[in-house]
Chain A
Amino acid sequence: MSNQLLISKVSKAFPGVQALNEVNLNLTSGTVHALLGENGAGKSTLIKIITGVYLADSGSLKVEGVEKSFHNPIESTHSGIAVVHQERNLIPEFSVEENITLHNPPLKLGIIDRKERTRLAKQALETLGFEIDLTERVKNLSVAQMQLVEIAKALVTNAKIILLDEPTASITGSETSKLFDVIKRLKSQGNAILFVSHKLEEVYEICDTVTVLRDGVSVLESMPLADYKQGEIVDLMVGRHLAERKAETRRVDRNATPVIELKNLQTSLGHRNISLSLYPGEVLGMYGLVGAGRSELARSILGLHAITGGEILVNGSVVKIRNFTEALHKYRIGYVTENRKEEGLFLDFPVRKNISVTILAKILQRLSVINPKKEDDIATKYVDRLGIKVVDNNQLALTLSGGNQQKVSVSKWLAAETKILIIDEPTVGVDVRTKASFHELITELANEGLSIILISSDLAEMVAVADRILVMRRYEFVGDLDNSKDYQSMSRSIMNSIQAS
């Protein structure tokens, strides 16, 4: 096996922070190499150096034994490096083949050679063992299909080194296994693959070697993954032993009046026979795969999509919730969205304004003027309470890490003192430690009397946090299980209820 990519003693500093400190990484052909680390450990910086976005301060980077120094992404591409980003870089209105050949369209007399383009795109997709209509517009594809198109796009540049940045963050389980087939195929063709993910189970399934970054230092360098247990890897990532929290079952009073109850609800999106009861202080899990209709149900309850049948009861009386404004101010229901950047935050606003947005009515003085002191105090209260890492309350939301952004997005609902909180996929793309702190927070809030509906595709998260788990499949509930908090048995029953339907 040859050294495709050899990184030695690479350092990179930004004002006030040493992002990378003499990091080493040895990526050989025909292997899948895991790059692990918490948010802010330096993974993104390292990827950006490999792809020519940043220039390293010191250290060397060799591709197939040749010393390189990339000043821009094009130089990196020409050296056979391709990256598939978390946020997809496809043009939705263009066809599959146009996207695949976007960077280097085959030309004939200066005009795009359509036949050649089709051939190239077809070839790339065949390499991946994946069939799709080449003329389909990318916007009509599923997230998983887009991901494969993105990989195909990487292949037509004749890349030998492929960086996959959290490729499974937003695709379903079966799509993930298809993606893994593709990765295995690329590996057997002699490519070197760098795999970045927060999901350790997947890393163990697909990766051969591993590098762990912590605070900009490579604490584990290009070692065979099989030699390390999952717990050891986590310890290396977080730098201390994370005590296994003994998840306890909580007591929920199911004789009380449910804070929200759905009876045979139907929606214009196709939900049928949706019935559920959420009791005071309960964490009700709503498990399902991506696309099962869980977020859509939450949004329908809050008035975004039409309810076509059945009833919604809040505190025992039938209600009609027309929009989010009513949901918040009249029924005290909040919704933490799964798309925090697009829907959860005002990125170019300071943290203070992001938290106060739901409570403007409560912090007014004369002439409808916002009281700046009250606003700041409330922001401070939740910044402290949730341990949000900020310089001050005026720091822009844009500049926070993913986990901290998520906490800000939750804070506004806590500030509004909602009685019911629907939390949608709170820990996607969040590192192990922040994830654990989120789980603690949810339990804590429930203990204080907040009633929570937790939507998640993360089985471990469901079992760790929910009191009861509803399983949704194709816009219907197919299971209703009391959570014993025993992962083995719970995951089996959940899978059974999905299979049986």
Chain B
Amino acid sequence: MKFKKIFNDQRVVLTLLTIALFIFFGLRNSAFFNVDFVIYPLLRDGATLTVIGLAQLCVLSIGHLNLAVGRMAAVSALVAGASYQYWGLTLVQGAILGVLAGALLGAITGWIIVKSQVNAFIVTLAMDFALLGLVTFIYVTFTGATAAFTTKPAGMDYWRSKSLADFCLGPICGPKALPMMLVPAIFCLILVSFMFSKTRLGRELLSTGSNLRAAKLSGIPVENRVMTAHIFSGTLAGIGGLMLAYTNGSFTAAIGSQVMLPSFLGPVLGGTLLAGGAVAVLGTFIGTMMTLVIRQGLSVQGIGLETLNIALGLVLLLALSVGQIQKMFTSIKLRGKK
């Protein structure tokens, strides 16, 4: 129970801290409380980054990492964009195709890691470079100077600009501050959380991450689990890529190019161990929101880009120390026990 308690505590602390920061920035400058210009976009970006954070979390669970997470998102957007532009697919058909492309990339990555026994860091780094080249090449070849697929299928703007206020059950409508983008994010949060906390698959993934050799010797098919983790990662990166593209309004090579490092922030701030074996799904959302509140809050204060980056760097440092600090506390506790 104690272990669980620490995690609960951390999530509570993180939530309180995020709210405190939010109020702090709001009090300093009331523009921060503006629904249309701050809160709505904040949550919309938060939703997208959370899904990409979950993509990272899936591989962190087995102690791997996915440096190609942003580029996998780009490929999904590319596939969906091409399908809208050239094949005239509907919004949903194209989206499904895009997500499948992400899953396929994840599967290929996992397969290479299992078969070559090369570290996931190297494989996904190589994957990132390869995909960067491929994505840019395709956009330039097919669309020339625009370097973007601009055809918007029916309903795409809906996801970009509508909020739960447009979603009514009889006379009761949702709040205007909550963007539609939250719906797929919440859907992913629930599924991933359920998978890790309740199911056999989740347990096998975490066991593999906690101690690979012990998992192997206990009869867990660890190679399959490595594949599974990377397929999930690719799938979620794909969903994230589509969310980025829909928010963006067009399909370009730049999609996903800024999300690789932030994808670590959410999960790790939330309490996911880089070494594997423990994940924090809800924590990923809270951690992501916190970084966005800081970024957005500072920029509303009129702080320059450089200072902003310094602040974000400090947050990253904090995030990466959290695991270590936690370990320190646990070891103090253990010392006490002995």
Residues of A within 8 A of B (CB): 14-17, 19, 45, 323-325, 327-329, 335, 337, 342-350, 353, 357-358, 360-361, 364, 367-370, 392, 394, 396, 398-399, 412, 416
Contact = CB atoms under 8 A, between A and B. Distances in A.
Contact of A367 (B2, B199, B206, B334): B199
Majority secondary structure of chain A interface residues (helix, strand, loop or mixed): mixed
A357 B207 contact: yes
Given A360-B203, A369-B198, A398-B334, A350 B218 contact: no
Interface stretch (B39-47, B92-100, B209-217, B302-310): B209-217
12 contacts: A15-B336, A325-B219, A328-B218, A342-B211, A342-B213, A342-B214, A345-B214, A349-B206, A350-B3, A357-B215, A358-B219, A416-B219
Contacts of B115: none
B118 interface: no
Nearest to B335: A14
B219 A343 contact: no
A370 B195 CA distance: 10
Nearest to B3: A396
B280 interface: no
B220 to A, nearest CB: 7
Interface of B: 1-4, 198-201, 203-204, 206-207, 210-211, 213-221, 277-278, 334-338
Given A45-B338, A369-B199, A348 B277 contact: yes
A158 B217 CA distance: 44
B199 A370 contact: yes
B124 to A, nearest CB: 25
A180 B337 CA distance: 35
The listed residue with most A CB atoms (<10 A of its CB), out of B214, B216, B336, is B214
B214 A344 contact: yes
A96 to B, nearest CB: 28
A335 B217 contact: yes
A416 B200 CA distance: 16
A223 B3 CA distance: 45
B333 to A, nearest CB: 9
Given A360-B204, A364-B200, A399 B334 contact: yes
B210 A361 contact: no
Contact of B221 (A17, A325, A346, A394): A325
A271 B241 CA distance: 53
B200 A346 contact: no
B221 to A, nearest CB: 5
A400 B2 CA distance: 15
Contacts of A412: 218
Contacts, number: 89
A424 to B, nearest CB: 11
A368 B201 contact: yes
A394 B217 contact: no
A11 B181 CA distance: 62
Contact of A370 (B203, B211, B335): B203
A252 B134 CA distance: 67
A45 B337 CA distance: 12
A17 B338 CA distance: 8
A328 B218 CA distance: 8
Nearest to B273: A348
Contacts of B2: 394
A325 B208 CA distance: 13
Q: Give me the 8 closest cross-chain CB pairs, A-B, nearest first.
A: A328-B219, A346-B210, A343-B213, A369-B198, A360-B200, A357-B218, A325-B219, A15-B336
Contacts of A360: 200, 203-204
A369 B55 CA distance: 22
A14 B1 contact: no
A329 B337 CA distance: 38
A188 to B, nearest CB: 37
Nearest to A19: B338
The listed residue with most B CB atoms (<10 A of its CB), out of A15, A329, A357, A398, is A357
Contacts of A347: 210-211
B207 to A, nearest CB: 6
A490 to B, nearest CB: 31
A190 B127 CA distance: 62
Contacts of B204: 360
B210 A324 contact: no
A242 to B, nearest CB: 26
A125 to B, nearest CB: 34
Contacts of A327: 219
Contacts of B219: 324-325, 327-329, 358, 416
A348 B210 contact: yes
Nearest to A336: B217
A270 B336 CA distance: 48
Nearest to B331: A398
B140 to A, nearest CB: 45
Nearest to A394: B1
Contact of B337 (A14, A325, A370): A14
Given A346-B207, A350-B3, A14 B218 contact: no
Nearest to B276: A348
Contacts of B217: 324, 335, 337, 343-344
B198 A357 contact: no
B199 A357 contact: no
Contacts of B334: 398-399
A347 B2 CA distance: 15
A365 to B, nearest CB: 9
B272 to A, nearest CB: 13
Nearest to A299: B217
Contacts of B207: 346, 349, 353, 357
Nearest to B201: A368
A370 B3 contact: no
Contacts of A349: 206-207, 210, 277
B337 A358 contact: no
Contacts of B335: 14
A345 B338 CA distance: 19
A350 B4 CA distance: 11
Contacts of B216: 323-324
B211 A345 contact: yes
A341 to B, nearest CB: 9
Contacts of A358: 218-219
A73 B220 CA distance: 41
B58 to A, nearest CB: 17
Nearest to A337: B217
A204 to B, nearest CB: 30
B223 to A, nearest CB: 9
B208 to A, nearest CB: 10
